[in-house]
Amino acid sequence: MQILINIDVDDMERAQAFYIVALGLVPGRRLGPDVVELLGGSSPLYLLRKAAGTVPSPGTVQQRDYRRHWTPVHLDFIVDDLDAAVQRMLAAGATLEQPVTDFAWGRLATFADPFGHGLCLLQFTGCGYDAIAT
């Protein structure tokens, strides 16, 4: 099974610039005017241009809103150097929500991207999640 990551955005050029600078992803294919593929992670990431105020599926009441929002699904990006990655995220326009915090398995910082989506950067140390696995 392969996983594809899709992120709705309302400004394709701004989103592409953010994810390239913040995470070091590289452009892949352009799938028409409203979809850009970004490569360089373990799964391809697709930016989907969707206007604010549109509905995500027929019959839904909730509309797309690119202010900071909560969702039960979010993305974690594993990095080798968290401090440098934090600086890249901030320079690209992310909002730091939780500064670097140390855990038994490694280090974590949380952000919101410029489109309101929550993102985490993780740096594993030692034996990573095995340090807390039961």
Does the residue 104 lie in any domain?
A: yes
Q: Could you tell me if residue 58 is inside a domain?
A: no
Name the residue range of residue 40's domain.
5-52+66-131
Tell me how far apart the alpha carbons of residues 77 and 50 are, in angstroms, rounded to a whole number. 23
Q: Is 59 contained in some domain?
A: no
Count of domains forming the chain: 1
Q: Is the residue at 60 inside a domain?
A: no
**95 occurs within a structural domain:** yes
16-50 CB burial, b ≥16 within 10 A, e <16? bebbbebbebeeeeeeeeeebbbeeeeebbbbebb
Place of tokens 């280090």: 107
In a domain, 61, yes or no: no
CA-based R_g, the chain, Å = 16
Q: Is residue 46 part of a domain?
A: yes
Q: What is the mean pLDDT of residues 101-105?
A: 98
Q: Judge if pTM exceeds 0.85.
A: yes
Examine residue 73 and state whether it is found in any structural domain, yes or no.
yes
E strand residue ranges, 23-63: 26-30, 35-39, 45-49
Identify the CATH number of the domain in which residue 77 sits. Answer: 3.10.180.10
Alpha-carbon distance values, 59 to 6, 56, 62, 63, 95 (Å): 21, 9, 9, 11, 33
pLDDT in tens, 16-72: 999 999 999 999 999 999 999 999 999 999 999 999 999 989 988 999 999 999 888
